[in-house]
Structure 1
Amino acid sequence: MLQLRDYQQKMVSKTREALKNGYRCPCVVAPCGAGKSVILSEIIRMTTHNKKQVLFIVHRKELIDQIRQTLLKNDVDMKFVTLGMVQTIVKRLEKTSEPDLIVIDESHHVLANSYKKIIQHFHHALVVGFTATPVRLNGGGLGDINDILIEEVTTKWLIENQFLSPYKYFAPEVMETFQLHVKRTGDYDLTELDNQFTERKIWGDVIAHYRKLANGEQAILYASSIYQSEKMAASFREVGISSEHIDGKTPKPERNEIIQKFRDGEIKVLCNLDLIGEGFDVPDCSTVIMLRPTQSLSLYIQQSMRGMRYRPNKTSIIIDHVGNVNRFGLPNMERTWSLEPKKGSNQTKAEAPVKICKECFMTVLQTDNKCPHCGAVFKVEAKAIEVDESAELKEIDEQTFKLDFRTPEDCKSMKELYDYAKTHNYKRGWAYHQGKARGFI
């Protein structure tokens, strides 16, 4: 059996207590590095030892073998466990054993129709979800499904108590590099700022920054395309740094061989696209390189914390070439979670079902690759990635993040307003008028 840490045992106890008190669908918030698989395996072990059926749902097939190994290590009676991908289970509902408990991995996906269908079909079962980020991509809370959040520790606490390594975060210099326009109120145009970061642009020389900040350390690189990932792996090799690329289509034997070489230290930089993401088990590393802007808080947290598993006297390095920190903040920021959805956030916007042929102006289906009237082929125009190799990344800590990435509305006192004005080269009079308008003076 696995030995649980004190806080892990508390999370198990809190979850059991919630179920005893009548909650039917708790969501357990387990930060990356908290040992989510250990916690959920203990809940499953206790359930199977009571001869009750468990349905464990994942969203990627690579995760099934990983969780099976953890369950076996924790003395789970596998006769009472069904493991499956959500895409498979939803198609085989009538052939799936009726569970007493449904456990959902990465449960921030739970509002998807496939999960809802499974939960509704097995409506007598209790449901326990696990996630590090209990919020949907569009900002929606999970309250349509979950009825209570189970929280115990934060990422900051895990670092302070040496369960995760401290880190240094490097990102583009926002205010100096991007030359944003200032509104009459003195605020930066945040729409312009967001556009700067979400464009297909990389700030800084990737290899030069790796050598400068993490030379010789093992790193995982997150690319925005297979082409970019393969090109970066080749570029690292050209300068004598061992590197390989993997993605979801890499044959499993080849992928396993590459990951084992990374585990053995033969590969320094492992480049990938959409593979080493949510829940994917990879060897420890000390450095993360981000070349892909993401709109998902969950993926950002997962990726940025890949290198933060605790190692004595070791500091992790996060090299963010695309400004993800601007959208999501630092990985260990204190975040207040809620099950309440933002207004309209859980509504799904349908993509326009039609488009116009540029040759004959006929209206055709969005999914058509060729116009049925004139035969014109619809080409997909790929926007080139712009690279500004002259840009220098700077270290972002809690203090610089507060000064460089916040808006004037974030300032809570005259001192903070004066600090903000000084950082952004505003006159003290600007801070005075801002403070007077808000009642600070």
Structure 2
Amino acid sequence: MTAFLDDRRLLRGPWQAFERDVARLLMHAGFEDVRVVGGSGDKGADVLGVKNGETWVVQCKHTTSAPAPKTAVQEVVDAGTFYKANRMIVATSRAIGGGIEAEVDRLRRIGITVELLDPARLLRLSKEVDEYTGTRRDLRPYQTEAVNRFREGLTDTGKAQAVLATGLGKTVVMAEVVADLYRDQLIPHNRVLVLADKVELVRQLQFGFWQQLPKWIPTHLLSSSETPSFFEGVTFATVQSVIGRLDDLPDFGLVLVDEAHHIGSRTFRSAIDALEPPMVGGVTATPWRGDGFDIDELIGKPLIQLGISDGLQHGFLCEVDYRLLADNIDWKFVQDISAHNYSLNQLNKRLLMPTRDEEAARLIAEAFISEKRRGGIVFSPTVDHAEAFSGVLRGYGLRAEAISSRHEPRERDQLMAMFRRGDIDLLASVDLFNEGVDVPDVDLIAFMRATHSRRIFVQQLGRGLRISDGKDKVIVLDFVTDLRRMAEVVELEKSASGPIERLPLGQNLISFRDASAGSFMLEWLKDQADLMLREGDPQLEIPRFEFPAPTQSGNVQ
């Protein structure tokens, strides 16, 4: 059986793919935690792995002709010191030269052991490791059904769409479909292209596929800074990089689109029209588009549609403790306006619910510390706000950082690695976490920005819905200053099955805790019909609180 790491990769690279293949080799060798950390500021490390409680650090050297330089040995020693590694390895794409061997011998004499992975040993290991990684996920029943329906749609009609809420395994389903089609030799040209709109998402997709693919399917990455040396197997690419290289790309038998609601954009449509794949499919958690384009035209109607309701009811998504915090609400004004049936836009122009950043930071810190949260995300209205607000959070003793498009990709990678390790408590962002970011340990979300888009709201909330070991629930602190979010919360009464509770309002900061907005919000999240309804604004139903009934009453009191 062949393996993803072969002579083509060793001879042709590119060097980034060589690093990733070494990381994938560790995954198939049973390592529990593998990360590619190569880049500026990597302290000499390219790949980190943990196995049996030991940390391994690997320096990868891909050269096209000459042997790797002996400086690689000192680089891995420096990295081993920085990362407190138990094992230090230099992996090379060319035979080991005398300079490296002499340097290894010198260090051995003073008690420092550096191990070598030359091409022959790498190829031998690639044949010996297990066909699948130890982190391969067993399919849940609904995922098995999704895989079967998706595959059938592709082979029968050339189109397939699956709608799966965040946390229900969209990547797992796509990877299993690809593996199945490869096993049965049903992919023309033996090439698959997986498209996304961000480099970070493309990289994460590749890692996600590794967990499910057998080792004999190679993978590649196509971006503005990297071009595959061959295309057999699965290529993960940003749509922008595809548009820029259409004349140089081979034919692909299958094109898959992650976050398929983007497929209606002119860029995605242009790419797919030019590629003319015999099979095209897509997965998404939020099939709505603000421009009204129907993505069913390109990838067919959803063959399976599972929402937050299914995940919550079957324990595949974690519980939500939703807390709506607001202050200075002029309900007398709302009473007057409701009688005239003013629109949400008109209400928003005249009524806001401001919450000062200082007070919000205090409440976030209080919840994070007192309820022993592991990691949190703050959604800010602007990048400037994210940077300023992270500073306010640090004033309350939290390790907080902003992450945005102002950072270079490598800087964002470093921040995400620190966040996943637990070295950062909270990250403040605007839209970077809307799609594709897999951070299952996140158990606190704070909304400091209003969004008028159900798709964005559900995407952002979905960052906290993934389950992980030791995670009891996700706490959502909603500080938005827009009445439309109130409309969303009021609309949840349509699906609330518990007793209706009277919520008195005053002039001070008001917190809707577990017994009120928290439980109602959970029921609203379970209302799949509402979540799939449309992209536009919901119709506000004014609640009856402490004033006479409005002309058109709702049922929340």
The yes-or-no answer on 1:135 pairing with 2:288 is yes
The normalised TM-score by structure 1 is 0.72
Partner of 1:394: 512
Partner of 2:477: 319
> Alpha-carbon deviation of 1:297?
2.7
Distance 1:422 1:260 in 2: 47
Partner of 1:208: 362
Partner of 1:348: none
| Of 322-331 and 134-143, the range deviating more from structure 2 | 322-331
> Alpha-carbon deviation of 1:15?
1.2
Q: Which has the higher helix share?
A: 2
| Of 4-13 and 268-277, the range deviating more from structure 2 | 268-277
Distance 1:223 1:308 in 2: 19
**CA deviation map 1:319-343 (0-9, x unaligned):** 12114634656999999xxxxxxxx
The normalised TM-score by structure 2 is 0.58
Instruction: Give the direction of change, closer, same or farther, for the CA distance of 1:106–1:203 in structure 2 (3 Å limit).
Output: farther
Matches within 5 A, 1:31-430: 31-49=165-183, 50=185, 52-76=190-214, 77-78=217-218, 79-172=232-325, 176-177=329-330, 179-180=333-334, 182-183=336-337, 185=339, 187=341, 189-195=343-349, 202=355, 205-215=359-369, 216-217=372-373, 218-282=375-439, 284-311=441-468, 314-322=472-480, 323=482, 325-326=485-486, 391-395=509-513, 396-397=517-518, 399=520, 422-423=544-545, 425-427=547-549
**Alignment size in residue pairs:** 362
The yes-or-no answer on 1:18 pairing with 2:178 is no
Q: Which runs of 5+ in 1 are unaligned?
A: 336-388, 404-418, 436-441
Q: Which amino acid aligns with 2:265?
A: A
The answer on whether the counterparts of 2:260 and 2:283 sit within 8 Å (CA) in structure 1 is: yes
Q: Which amino acid aligns with 1:32?
A: T
The answer on whether the counterparts of 2:404 and 2:429 sit within 8 Å (CA) in structure 1 is: yes
Q: Give structure 1 regions of 4+ aligned residues with deviation exceeding 6 angstroms.
A: 330-335, 400-403
Distance 1:427 1:392 in 2: 22
Distance 1:147 1:105 in 2: 15
The answer on whether the counterparts of 1:180 and 1:189 sit within 8 Å (CA) in structure 2 is: no
Aligned partner (choices 123, 141, 145) of residue 6 of structure 1? 141
> Alpha-carbon deviation of 1:214?
3.8
Instruction: Give the direction of change, closer, same or farther, for the CA distance of 1:328–1:94 in structure 2 (3 Å limit).
Output: farther
Alignment RMSD (CA, Å): 3.5
Larger Rg: 2
The answer on whether the counterparts of 1:177 and 1:391 sit within 8 Å (CA) in structure 2 is: no
Partner of 1:378: none
> Alpha-carbon deviation of 1:136?
0.3
Distance 1:253 1:111 in 2: 30
| SS of corresponding position for 2:336 | coil
Q: Which runs of 5+ in 2 are unaligned?
A: 1-131, 219-231, 496-506, 525-540
Instruction: Give the direction of change, closer, same or farther, for the CA distance of 1:241–1:70 in structure 2 (3 Å limit).
Output: closer
Instruction: Give the direction of change, closer, same or farther, for the CA distance of 1:117–1:334 in structure 2 (3 Å limit).
Output: farther
Q: Which amino acid aligns with 2:455?
A: S
The answer on whether the counterparts of 2:162 and 2:305 sit within 8 Å (CA) in structure 1 is: no
Distance 2:421 2:311 in 1: 27
Q: Which amino acid aligns with 2:344?
A: L
> Alpha-carbon deviation of 1:93?
1.5
Distance 1:157 1:81 in 2: 31
> Alpha-carbon deviation of 1:269?
1.7
> Alpha-carbon deviation of 1:402?
9.8
Distance 2:388 2:542 in 1: 41
The answer on whether the counterparts of 2:445 and 2:461 sit within 8 Å (CA) in structure 1 is: yes
Distance 1:317 1:300 in 2: 15
> Alpha-carbon deviation of 1:34?
0.2
> Alpha-carbon deviation of 1:37?
0.8
The answer on whether the counterparts of 2:155 and 2:279 sit within 8 Å (CA) in structure 1 is: no
> Alpha-carbon deviation of 1:39?
0.6
| SS of corresponding position for 2:306 | coil
The answer on whether the counterparts of 2:327 and 2:355 sit within 8 Å (CA) in structure 1 is: no
Partner of 1:363: none
